[in-house]
Structure 1
Amino acid sequence: MEALALRLSGLDPYVDGAIRIVAFYDTLMRRRVDLPALARASAGLAECVTGIRLHGTGRTVRVSPLGTEATTEPLPASTTAPITLDDEEIGAVWLERPGPPNALDDILLDRLALAVAAAVERYGPARTTMADPALVELAVADGTDEAARARALRLLGFAAGRPVHVVAVRAELPLGRVGALVSPSGLVKAAPLDDVGVLLTAEPVDPGRFPPGVRAGLAAADRPDRSWRRARTALRFTTPRAPVVHHANLGALALLAEVPPEAARTNPDVAALARVAGTPEDLATLDAYCATGSLRRAADLLHLHHSSVSRRLEHLGKALSLDLTDPTGLTRARLALAVWRLLEGRGD
């Protein structure tokens, strides 16, 4: 192998440089160096400021080519690479090269990311959010034997007898990243179950920590299986205006999720709303009015003149056979909208 590497390096200066970088990091990993040492060595090799950041702890290391802590104002990263551990992105490494990237910068960062992942796994904090889906499913499934459930929770790191909070998630972001953001310092485990992601946390989750574009249903009950059912129900009630919903805040609205689908579809109010929903402008107007209960506030949300909203609501009232200015009519419209969304399996 060494003879082949030597022959290749003689053929191409780029290959020679790449082989030297690989050998450099192999040596560092054999010596089991820690994160600061990796950053110092990398900054010296790259001859520019080098950074390491771990998402879970928020820890950031920036080192100058002299091997000291970088105190200058950070430059935009010229090259970046993710740090991956157990198929989860746990951080990032980057170079702050003042000029254009070097041809070997990608290889350097790739090897640095591998070395950082090895160091994190060895020295900690090695906490990752992604968990074995089979264990998570055992923990939240309806039919799990309680002894098996307790064992699954123990293997996931949760203390016996302590409450477990459950979140049902739909997001374009990686599930592990969502878990790290909503519970940056506490125990959190995540796994995909069917078409929904599940987060298990040891502490209550702050709804404000969810990043934009994430829909989440929160729940906390006496057992994880009950919490999971309630979290999935809460997820069904999310909308662009309310992307995070706690089951406890649904109150009697949660009962709508238990209405048989066929009975819901044949309800005159729901059937009429399903016809109206085919026109996005009408649906948006009704949603804004149901959310605010005020023509002028709905107009503000829609960025329309109140007279335009008034005309739309008059048209909608006729289509739904409801007087939307009457409290009873407005309540029926709100219920019909909620039931329609549950039937459609959507919150938009």
Structure 2
Amino acid sequence: MQALAERLSGVDSYVDGAIRVVAFYDTLMRRRVDLPALARASAGLAECVVGLRLHGTGRAIRVSPAGAEEPGPAGPATTTVPVTLDDEEIGTVWLERATPAHPLDEMLLERLAIAAAAAVERYGPARTTMADPALVELAVSSTGDEAARARALRLLGFAAGRPVQVVAVRTSLPLDRIGGLICPAGPVKAAALADVGVILAAAVDTTRFPEGVRAGLGAAEGTAVSWRQARTALRFTTPRDPVVRHADLGALALLADVPRDTAAGNADVAAVARVAGSPEDLETLDAYCATGSLRRAADLLHLHHSSVARRLEQIARTLGIDLTEPAGLTRARVALTAWRLLDN
């Protein structure tokens, strides 16, 4: 690879050197070299230590002009340039010269940064990258055709034919941080569409969502379908169940299609709305519906079972439902879910 260009010290003029630097990195990019190869080639060209670090992974590469990785802590950087992808800074490249900076140092690093961003996108993006909302919207749109969605996914860095899962998120946290947590190893892109965050990921670890995040997950069955499922699942989230998979809803997902006026006018749903006027009673009803057992609900609420029993008696009178019967418990669960969907 060293034959691609002369070392910078052997270049006679700035213009000639600039042309050689551009040609050097154009050739490297055509050869689709990875990050270590880029660092080795750059160190040989610059005749000094070259460093490359990705913010998302914390990975750092430092290579000497001889092509070997430099051990120990990094020395002082004489020139530094950010690596950007989709308008987000994902890393940094730098030179560690023991001699004064060369006039072409900044141009060399700029070309290295461009080549590094292309390699990151090709071989695996940084743990997460905020993406163009318009491109994400196209990738999940149900109005466009499959070819347009596939092209949008390729532009976002997802390999053709690989499954992509869509997550709908409500949070005050940065979407890129959440994406990096739930998909630490594979490609992941994030963007905000209206008042909902969208995360596209090769795979999702539901145990890694931060506290306070509400998330609905669609299946990896096509991004348009997955996005519709994710938005539906998001409506079913609660403080007790902040992360919901659409696949786990089963027949309950049908409740999301019930017209709002129809749900609000149902007698059981209206009764739950009256119970909700007391946060204490609503929490008790929620715990009982979640567990189906007075004693388990008491454990969940950290109360004596007799106290929970008294509350449930009052709640049952308000609902007009016998909560001790399986049919009554089913009615209460469905009504509570339907009432929540009115707000979600």
- The TM-score normalised by the length of structure 1 is 0.67
Q: Describe the shift of the 1:291–1:123 C-alpha distance in structure 2 as closer, same or farther (beyond 3 A).
A: same
Unpaired segments ≥5 residues, structure 2: 1-45, 62-69, 74-82, 93-108
Could you tell me which residue of structure 2 aligns to residue 303 of structure 1? 302
Q: Which residues of 2 match residues 232-251 of structure 1 at below 5 A?
A: 232-251=231-250
Q: Supply the distance in 2 between the matched residues of 1:283 and 1:322 (Cα, whole angstroms).
A: 15
- TM-superposed CA distance for 1:281, in Å, is 0.4
Alignment-derived partner of residue 289 in structure 1 = 288
Match of 2:138 in 1: 138
Note closer, same or farther for the CA distance 1:330–1:60 as it changes in structure 2 (3 Å cut): farther
Map residues 146-295 of structure 1 onto 2, 5 A cutoff.
Answer: 146-202=146-202, 204-295=203-294
Among the aligned pairs, what percent are the same residue?
A: 67
Question: Which residue number in structure 1 is paired with residue 29 of structure 2?
Answer: none
SS at match of 1:138: helix
Q: Is the 8 A contact 2:130 2:191 kept in 1?
A: yes
Aligned partner of 1:54 in structure 2 is 55
Partner amino acid for 1:224? Answer: T
Question: What is the SS of the residue equivalent to 2:185?
Answer: coil
Matched position secondary structure for 1:189 = strand
Indicate if the aligned counterparts of 2:86 and 2:131 stay in contact, CA closer than 8 A.
Answer: no
How many residue pairs match? The answer is: 258
Distance (whole Å) between structure 1 residues aligned to residue 111 and residue 340 of structure 2? 46
Q: CA deviation at 1:243?
A: 1.2
Structure 2 distance, partners of 1:272, 1:84, is 55
Cα 1:218/1:312, change in 2 over 3 Å: same
Q: TM-score with structure 2 length normalisation? A: 0.68
SS in 1 for 2:277: coil
Aligned position for 1:313? 312
Contact 1:182 1:209 (C-alpha < 8 Å) held by counterparts = yes
1:59, distance to aligned residue in structure 2 (A) = 3.7
The letter for the 2-side match of 1:251 is: G
Q: CA deviation at 1:151?
A: 1.6
Question: In 2, Cα distance between the equivalents of 1:304 and 1:136?
Answer: 47
Alignment check: 8 A CA contact 1:141 1:225 kept: yes
Q: Please report the RMSD computed on the Cα atoms of aligned residues, expressed in angstroms.
A: 2.9
Would the aligned equivalents of 2:218 and 2:226 in 1 still touch at CA under 8 Å? yes
Structure 1: runs of 5+ lacking an equivalent? 1-30, 37-51, 62-66, 71-82, 93-115
Equivalent residue number for residue 104 of structure 1: none
Aligned-pair CA distance for 1:120 = 6.8
Q: Which amino acid aligns with 1:286?
A: L
- Which residue does the alignment assign to 2:24? none
Shift of 1:238: 1.0
The Cα of 1:147 is off from its aligned counterpart by: 2.5
- What residue is the counterpart of 1:3 in the other structure? none
